[in-house]
């Protein structure tokens, strides 16, 4: 069975500082990993995905994620956070469905 863990319920960061949201996964076979963001009263918006190839994946809105096979991690990063990045972030692994982590709430303070 596959699973995803997001160890932090909430991450607080000052605007302009680097943002990291952590994700670890467990899956048999090759992992297909995704990050989504959810703003209040909205659905999930796709940010980026790792399928194969470069371990550093670039996505929307300046986000990127680093795939680390030995640590089974897929952390989401942004070099300089904006107040508008405040939202709920979900990591997911794909098989015949998406299995999501519990989500991490990001609060960027001005």
Partner 1 sequence: KAGVTQTPRYLIKTRGQQVTLSCSPISGHRSVSWYQQTPGQGLQFLFEYFSETQRNKGNFPGRFSGRQFSNSRSEMNVSTLELGDSALYLCASSLAGGGARRETQYFGPGTRLLVL
Binding site for partner 1 (CB under 8 A): 32, 34, 36, 41-46, 49, 51, 90, 94-103
Residue 110 CB, nearest distance to partner 1 (Å)?
Answer: 27
The smaller minimum CB distance to partner 1, of residues 36 and 108, is found at 36
The smaller minimum CB distance to partner 1, of residues 17 and 45, is found at 45
d(CA 61, CA 59): 7
Residue 17 CB, nearest distance to partner 1 (Å)?
Answer: 28
SS (H, E, C) the chain: CCEEECCCCEEEEECCCCEEECCEEECCCCCCEEEEEECCCCCEEEEEEECCCCCEEECHHHCEEEEECCCCEEEEEECCCCHHHCEEEEEEEECCCEEECCCEEEEEEC
Residue 38 CB, nearest distance to partner 1 (Å)?
Answer: 9
Residue 58 CB, nearest distance to partner 1 (Å)?
Answer: 15
The smaller minimum CB distance to partner 1, of residues 15 and 22, is found at 22
The smaller minimum CB distance to partner 1, of residues 44 and 82, is found at 44
């Amino acid at each position: 069975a596959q699973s995803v863990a997001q160890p932090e319920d909430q991450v607080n960061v000052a605007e302009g500082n680097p943002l990291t949201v952590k994700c670890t996964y467990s899956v048999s076979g090759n992992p297909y990993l995704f990050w989504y963001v959810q703003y209040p009263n909205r659905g999930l918006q796709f940010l980026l995905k790792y399928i194969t190839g470069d371990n550093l994946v670039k996505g929307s809105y300046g986000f990127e994620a680093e795939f680390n096979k030995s640590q089974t991690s897929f952390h989401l990063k942004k070099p300089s956070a904006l107040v508008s990045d405040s939202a709920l972030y979900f990591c997911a692994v794909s098989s015949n469905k998406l299995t999501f982590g519990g989500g991490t709430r990001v609060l960027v303070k001005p």
